[in-house]
Amino acid sequence: MTNTVTSEAPAGDAFAPLTASDRCDRCAAAAQVRAVLPSGFELLFCGHHFTEHRAKLDAQGATVVGEPLTV
């Protein structure tokens, strides 16, 4: 799995809300979840890719901000 790092996470709990222009790092879908790795880097995921990678993110100690939309 190759992840694209979007940016470094801000200090503390201050995360900007996701906007319509934020896109999943794995595809072009709208981002629904921000995963912040212990290193401070963040990844954006659509609901599908977050579900696919959730166990690995949890195992790595990622902080997850947001929840994927369910239909």
User: Looking at the domain assignment, is residue 11 inside a domain?
Assistant: no
* Structural domain total, the chain: 1
User: Looking at the domain assignment, is residue 31 inside a domain?
Assistant: yes
| Residues ≥6 apart with Cβ < 8 Å to 29 | 23, 46, 48, 49
User: Looking at the domain assignment, is residue 1 inside a domain?
Assistant: no
User: Looking at the domain assignment, is residue 62 inside a domain?
Assistant: yes
> Are 24 and 49 contacting, i.e. CB atoms less than 8 angstroms apart?
yes
pLDDT (tens digit per residue) in 5-64: 444 445 555 788 999 999 999 999 999 999 999 999 999 999 999 999 999 999 999 999
User: Looking at the domain assignment, is residue 8 inside a domain?
Assistant: no
Could you tell me the residue range of the domain that residue 46 belongs to?
A: 17-70
